[in-house]
């Protein structure tokens, strides 16, 4: 090993941090631990038999092309079917408005690569998705957090922050928002708040990045229009993925934006992986084309709805006074808030001792706040284990109280 290894690492790698969630998952691999920590889809929702059928069909009918390099923009048929689905939802899109990525996490990384220089400011929620924070941090961004109310990012505080920055001659690169079943808070932003934030972003001439990985997993309430559709002026970059609504192992995501921005994503992606795996894209396209995707999604929604209700029932039954939680209308997560004097990081070890795990809420806060919060996943565990896990977690909280 060379003598000056630590000195020759880049500034970028020195600023990167390992994912707190991925590191936590290593601690929860013991079979006796009931884990609410990961953002994992339920494996029983994976359409294995249908994928066997489609994989053989793709290889039989289109094998050489499926196993070859593909266009950086993505397989044409998959891009077109995604565009058609968005058009059915009211979005005005063409093919040059969409690029396929290797998961939406790559989309976040490319976004940071394209827009962020060291020291640039990025606006995000308090709390916000850890993968987004990690991607932006790795390129040297300074995250500025905006607190939430029960409708998501507060528009008044956003305007206040942008006004303050403008007075100092500073323009943030973008505002990062997860408007549907927000990760980790589980909150859905109503249309009125979306319109407020669009108006503020236009007033200060700042891009909005709309991260939308769970939008189609809605159990109840009214589906809200995307920020992209409400804006309809090229002011918004929209990220999507199949990881939570189909299978995560295929690592298929996409970015929707103005064609000038998409062109930059294509350029940045070419130096990253050249193209997303062609075989995976062709299988996903065929899966949607045959109607399997929409059919399977209905089952996922029913199952996760039941799991959410089961967890809420257990919370109501076992959690002590002073503990609060969000009630998401869809998605995979809810957010739990402990009494102000409690520290979830200290509680975590007690929870592990009780064979239950969660994600500490402070890792989702760019300013280090949220020490009395935690993210809870309800999609992965079977209902009986969820009930037992909530009992264990409530016991650990009571002990700490």
Who contacts 391 (Cβ-Cβ below 8 Å, separation ≥6)?
314, 318
| pLDDT at res. 135 | 96
Give the structural domain span for 178: 68-290
Mean pLDDT of 289-293: 97
- The candidate with the shortest Cα–Cα distance to 352, out of 392, 299, 323, is 392
In this predicted structure, what is the pLDDT of residue 5? 76
- Whether residue 134 has pLDDT greater than 60: yes
Question: Are 265 and 280 within one domain?
Answer: yes
Q: Is residue 43 assigned to a domain?
A: yes
DSSP state at residue 218: B
CATH code: domain of residue 178: 3.40.640.10
pLDDT per position as a tens digit, 41-87: 999 999 999 999 999 999 999 999 999 999 999 999 999 999 999 99
pLDDT value at 337 more than 90: yes
Residue 154 pLDDT greater than 90, yes or no: yes
Same domain, 386 and 284: no
List of residues 6+ apart from 294 with CB closer than 8 A = 288
- Has residue 1 been placed in a domain? no
pLDDT score for 18: 65
Query: Does a structural domain hold residue 251?
Result: yes
**pLDDT value of residue 158:** 98
* Cα 334 to Cα 394: distance, rounded to the nearest angstrom: 16
Number of domains in the chain: 2
pLDDT above 60: residue 21: no
What percentage of the chain exceeds 70 in pLDDT? 97
Q: Does residue 256 lie within any of the structural domains? A: yes
Helix (H, G, I), strand (E, B) or coil at 258: coil
Of 246, 265, 290, the residue at which a domain comes to its end is 290
Model confidence at 113, pLDDT cuts 50, 70, 90, reads very high
Predicted pLDDT at 72: 98
Whether the predicted pLDDT of 385 surpasses 90: yes
Integer Rg of the chain from CA: 21
Q: Are residues 145 and 280 in the same domain?
A: yes
Residue labelled with tokens 């409708």: 151
CB atoms within 10 A of CB 353: 11
One domain for residues 314 and 275: no
Q: pLDDT grade, residue 22 (50/70/90)?
A: low
Residue 338 CA: distances (Å) to CA of 126, 328, 356: 16, 18, 16
Cα dihedral across residues 134, 136, 137, 143: positive or negative: negative
End-to-end CA distance of the chain: 49
The reply to whether 29 and 99 lie within a common domain is no
Residue 30 scores a pLDDT above 90: no
Confidence (pLDDT) at 287: 98
Residue 114: predicted pLDDT = 98
Region 234-256: mean pLDDT is 97
Can you give the pLDDT at residue 1?
Answer: 72
Residues 94 and 241 in one domain: yes
The pLDDT of residue 26 is above 70? no
pLDDT value at position 178?
98
pLDDT at 261: 98
pLDDT at 266: 98
* pLDDT at residue number 373: 98
Predicted local distance difference test score (pLDDT) of residue 394: 98
How many angstroms separate the CA atoms of 117 and 173, rounded?
9
Out of 259, 290, 321, a domain closes at 290
What is the average pLDDT score of the chain?
Answer: 95
Residue 137, in any domain of the structure? yes
The answer on 388 and 277 residing in a single domain is: no
**Residue 187 sits in the same domain as residue 145:** yes
Q: What is the CATH number of the domain that holds 372?
A: 3.90.1150.10
Strand partners, 336: 325, 374
Is 132:115 a contact under the CB 8 Å cutoff? no
Q: Tokens for 290, please give them.
A: 């045959």
Beta strands of 165-215 (E only): which ranges? 174-177, 207-211
DSSP class of 241: E
For residues 209 and 103, state if they share a domain: yes
The answer to whether 255 and 110 have CB atoms below 8 angstroms apart is yes
Report if residue 79 sits inside a domain. yes
In this predicted structure, what is the pLDDT of residue 97? 98
What average pLDDT score do residues 229-251 get? 96
Last residue of a domain, one of 239, 271, 290: 290
Q: Within this chain, do residues 42 and 92 fall inside the same structural domain, yes or no?
A: no
Q: Provide the 10 A C-beta neighbour count for residue 50.
A: 16
- Let me know whether 279 and 301 are in one domain: no
- The residues, ordered by sequence, that sit 6+ positions from 177 with a Cβ below 8 Å of its Cβ are 125, 152, 153, 189, 197, 208, 209, 210, 211, 227
pLDDT score at 25: 60
Same domain (yes/no): 267, 139:
yes
Q: Is the pLDDT of residue 3 over 90?
A: no
């Amino acid at each position: 090993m060379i003598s000056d290894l630590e000195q020759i690492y880049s500034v970028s790698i020195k600023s990167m941090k390992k994912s707190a969630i991925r590191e936590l998952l290593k601690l929860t691999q013991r079979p006796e631990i009931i884990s609410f920590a990961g953002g994992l889809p339920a494996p029983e929702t994976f359409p294995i038999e249908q994928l066997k059928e489609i994989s053989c069909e793709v290889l039989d009918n289109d094998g050489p092309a499926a196993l070859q390099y593909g266009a950086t923009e993505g397989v044409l048929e998959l891009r077109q079917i995604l565009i058609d689905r968005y058009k059915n939802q009211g979005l005005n899109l063409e093919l040059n408005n969409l690029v396929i990525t290797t998961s939406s996490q790559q989309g976040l990384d490319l976004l940071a690569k394209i827009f962020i220089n060291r020291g640039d400011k990025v606006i995000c929620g308090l709390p916000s998705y850890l993968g987004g924070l990690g991607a932006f941090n790795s390129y040297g961004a300074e995250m500025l957090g905006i607190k939430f109310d029960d409708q998501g990012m507060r528009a008044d505080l956003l305007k206040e922050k942008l006004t303050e920055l403008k007075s100092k001659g500073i323009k943030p690169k973008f505002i990062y928002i997860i408007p549907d079943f927000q990760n980790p808070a589980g909150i859905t932003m109503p249309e009125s708040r979306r319109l407020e934030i669009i108006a503020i972003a236009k007033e200060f001439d700042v891009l909005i990045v709309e991260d939308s990985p769970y939008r189609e997993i809605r159990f109840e309430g009214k589906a809200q229009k995307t920020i992209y559709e409400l804006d309809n002026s090229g002011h918004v970059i929209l990220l999507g993925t199949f990881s939570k609504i189909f299978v995560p192992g295929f690592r298929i995501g996409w970015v929707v934006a103005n064609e000038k921005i998409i062109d930059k994503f294509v350029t940045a992606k070419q130096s990253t992986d050249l193209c997303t795996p062609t075989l995976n894209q062709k299988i996903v396209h065929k899966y949607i084309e045959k109607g399997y995707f929409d059919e399977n999604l209905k089952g996922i929604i029913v199952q996760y709805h039941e799991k959410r209700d089961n967890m809420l029932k257990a919370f109501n039954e076992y959690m002590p006074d002073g503990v609060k939680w969000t009630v998401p209308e869809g998605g995979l997560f809810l957010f739990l808030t402990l009494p102000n004097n409690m520290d979830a990081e200290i509680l975590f070890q007690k929870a592990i001792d009780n064979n239950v795990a969660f994600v500490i809420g402070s890792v989702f806060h760019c300013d280090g706040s949220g020490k009395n919060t935690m993210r809870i996943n309800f999609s992965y565990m079977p209902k009986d284990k969820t009930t037992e896990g909530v009992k264990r977690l409530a016991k650990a909280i009571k002990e700490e109280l």
